[in-house]
Structure 1
């Protein structure tokens, strides 16, 4: 689905073992700290699969979009997967694998925006925005473990 303007994926190597990176990503407050535009996470509830359900506010162009995230896969230390529900719907899939220098973290996301949002800004703009946001989140995770903070 590489032609989907709302799909993006990228990877980064994080200087920590998969267990440490998984634990960091397992804490909802850390997602708010590393994800551009994610302004608030609240109403966190534990699920039977080990994951979480929570409400969030995502800010884009000064507008807050509220929704819900449900963790569909919680597989330590290899994978987190989430379903986004609400005005912004889609999926986020975080996969972690050991490499010599730490953990390769792959972030894949697919978003389903309302048609009027696409009509206003156009598919190429949405694609670039999604790719930049995803890359910034990956770089923020890597920066947490690079020893310079």
Structure 2
């Protein structure tokens, strides 16, 4: 199993950050290796499920993302199903006038030999990917006060 995690402070209300990340189509705007999100459907728990294509180190991986936990303005937890199996956990904490976002991803690489050989490379790759994703989130949601 590969696990990566990062946190970032976003100078935006927790409601705005949560709402943005609760829309699977927004993930394609901020996640560099997410190639496509399609077939988004609402779930009874308030969450969503979606099909997606993620490109890792030049390899396209198709799968399904199912939001198994939806706690308004606090937490989103997704199960990855398909070629890449695992879990994405996003937590939101109000801090000052903004939001602390904690994002952890745990997943199993496809193929036993490939995963053993590639795990150190993939961990570094996905740690950079996660850092970039959170910085993109920050850049997209933070709005400077208008100058006068």
Of 14, 27, 31, 2:27 maps to 31
CA distance in 1, matches of 2:21, 2:46: 13
CA distance in 2, matches of 1:120, 1:15: 40
TM-score of the two chains, using structure 2 as the length reference = 0.91
Map 1:52-71; keep pairs closer than 5 Å. 52-71=48-67
Count of residue pairs brought into register by the alignment = 143
1:117 matched residue in structure 2: 114
Shift in alpha-carbon separation, 1:126–1:63, aligned structure 2, 3 A: closer
Consecutive unaligned residues in structure 1, runs of 5 or more: none
CA distance in 1, matches of 2:43, 2:26: 18
Question: SS where residue 16 of structure 1 aligns?
Answer: coil
- The alpha carbon displacement at 1:116 in A equals 3.4
TM-score of the two chains, using structure 1 as the length reference = 0.90
Listed one character per residue, the Cα deviations across residues 61-82 of structure 1 (whole Å, up to 9, x for unaligned) are: 3332110000011111111100
2:132 matched residue in structure 1: 136
- The alpha carbon displacement at 1:20 in A equals 0.6
1:103 matched residue in structure 2: 99
Matched, 1:51 2:47: yes
CA distance in 2, matches of 1:101, 1:37: 31
CA distance in 1, matches of 2:120, 2:113: 15
